[in-house]
């Protein structure tokens, strides 16, 4: 009986020790206030770079036709020189700018003829990290976690979806001349330059 009591006592003490080292309590409002300070504000960050660094980066993008020619002749060197990649691997992101004529418009994209090349300007599926990573401005190591890093892409893409695309599509017609700046994602191992897809950063219709 006495032995059992001792066992229970030791068990309870161990449980108490584990519990004490497992959880802590805090008033919720204090916690929320502390969190507010720590939370990374992606919207504010993107706003701070949108018209300055980001606009400058895409404004200085290589010409689309020249980049495609370079990729066709020297893919390795062009990936090295003009592409941005998050890590090792075959995927590279490129900034491009150019001007072309609208040849078709459908619900997902706008097809432009740029010189002798066709290019798809995405207008529906504005997702992924192409705009963030092609710009080369944002480095993953500058962020404590991938979640913060990814919210930058979400914010950039959301701006394009909500601010750029609706205005652009509302006044677009086949035959229009369109100036574009944007990003494209290419796979070095399966390089397909036939009809590249571009996530736009700016789109301007020239009458």
**C-beta closer to another protein: residue 30 or 76:** 30
Closest to 94 measured CA to CA, from 198, 204, 192: 198
Question: Whole-number minimum distance, CB 198 to another protein, in Å?
Answer: 27
Binding residues (CB under 8 A) for another protein: these are 18, 21-31, 144-148
Question: Whole-number minimum distance, CB 141 to another protein, in Å?
Answer: 14
Question: Whole-number minimum distance, CB 147 to another protein, in Å?
Answer: 5
Closest to 109 measured CA to CA, from 196, 5, 8: 196
**C-beta closer to another protein: residue 19 or 175:** 19
Q: Which residues of 114-138 are buried (b: 16+ CB within 10 A; e: fewer)?
A: beebebbbbbeebeebbbbbbbeeb
**C-beta closer to another protein: residue 77 or 144:** 144
In whole angstroms, what is the distance from residue 1 CA to residue 31 CA? Answer: 46
**C-beta closer to another protein: residue 33 or 72:** 33
Backbone φ and ψ of 40, nearest 5° = -75, 125
Question: Whole-number minimum distance, CB 159 to another protein, in Å?
Answer: 21
> How crowded is residue 48: how many other Cβ atoms within 10 Å of its Cβ?
12
């Amino acid at each position: 009986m006495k032995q059992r009591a001792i066992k229970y006592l030791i068990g309870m003490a161990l449980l108490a020790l584990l519990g004490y080292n497992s959880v802590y309590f805090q008033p919720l409002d204090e916690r929320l206030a502390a969190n507010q300070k720590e939370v990374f504000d992606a919207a504010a960050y993107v706003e701070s770079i949108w018209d300055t660094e980001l606009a400058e980066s895409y404004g200085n993008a290589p010409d689309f036709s020249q980049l495609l020619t370079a990729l066709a002749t020297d893919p390795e060197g062009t990936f090295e020189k003009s592409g941005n990649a998050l890590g090792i691997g075959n995927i590279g992101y490129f900034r491009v700018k150019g001007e072309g004529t609208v040849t078709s418009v459908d619900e997902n994209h706008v097809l432009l003829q740029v010189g002798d090349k066709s290019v798809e300007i995405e207008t529906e599926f504005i997702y992924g990290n192409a705009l963030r990573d092609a710009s080369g401005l944002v480095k993953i190591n500058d962020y404590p976690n991938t979640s913060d890093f990814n919210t930058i892409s979400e914010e950039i893409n959301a701006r394009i979806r909500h601010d750029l695309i609706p205005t652009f599509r509302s006044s677009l017609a086949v035959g229009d001349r369109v100036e574009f700046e944007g990003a494209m994602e290419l796979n070095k191992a399966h390089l397909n330059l036939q009809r590249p897809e571009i996530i736009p950063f700016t789109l301007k219709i020239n009458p």
